[in-house]
Amino acid sequence: MILWTVAIILFIAILAIAFLLNFYKDPKRTIPKGNNIVAPADGRIISVIDTSKNNIKIKKGLLGKIKTYTKDVAKQCYAVSIFMSPFDAHYNRAPIEGIIKSIKHTKGRFFKAYDLEKSFENEKNEILIQNKQLKVKVIQIAGFLARRIMCHVKINQKVNKGQKIGFIALGSQTTIILPRNLKLKVKTGDKVKAGQTIIAVLK
């Protein structure tokens, strides 16, 4: 009986270690060259929202929440939300080369990260990046399990496209705000890899 108990404990410990090693994995990425914007996170796209008046297909309350995050990017924007499961790499990467113009941390709730409407009430960290051509915003959003957001950059710091800029523990969400004058290359349901998958290009 004691041997069985020890064996079960060891098995659980091995599974826990394997899960943590998988969770903190940091796979190498091939950063694409050219005038493109890459995904800021690994995971699956759960929503692509167009804030233009002619393309409103979402609840007014959710649209209002999203528009509070788009004002310093452009008048009309795309908001692309990526759900990061516990099995995805959880490092966030810069979608463009540029300068960190602002960082804003907001305390909040811890709803499930794949619940798009409620997730915007969660704790979050906004990172605005600007270069000579455009501005984009990466929003790190905590989830039900993920209760720790780490930001690895500072205001006025220069970052390269694909560079690691942060980390979110366990399942979580990352939303990127893009100017609407870009050409999107992804849609809801697509799997993306941080720093590698092209999500938009300059027209």
Domain 2-202 fold? Glucose Permease (Domain IIA) (2.70.70)
Name the residue among 25, 23, 28 with its Cα closest to residue 169.
23
Catalytic residue among 47, 81, 119, 172: 172
113 in Cβ contact with 136 (< 8 Å):
no
Query: Pairing mode, if any, of strands 164-168 and 91-93?
Result: antiparallel
Query: Pairing mode, if any, of strands 135-141 and 124-130?
Result: antiparallel
Residue 81 annotated in active site: no
pLDDT in tens, 117-170: 666 778 899 999 999 999 999 999 987 665 678 999 999 999 999 999 999 876
Give the predicted TM-score (pTM) of the model.
Answer: 0.84
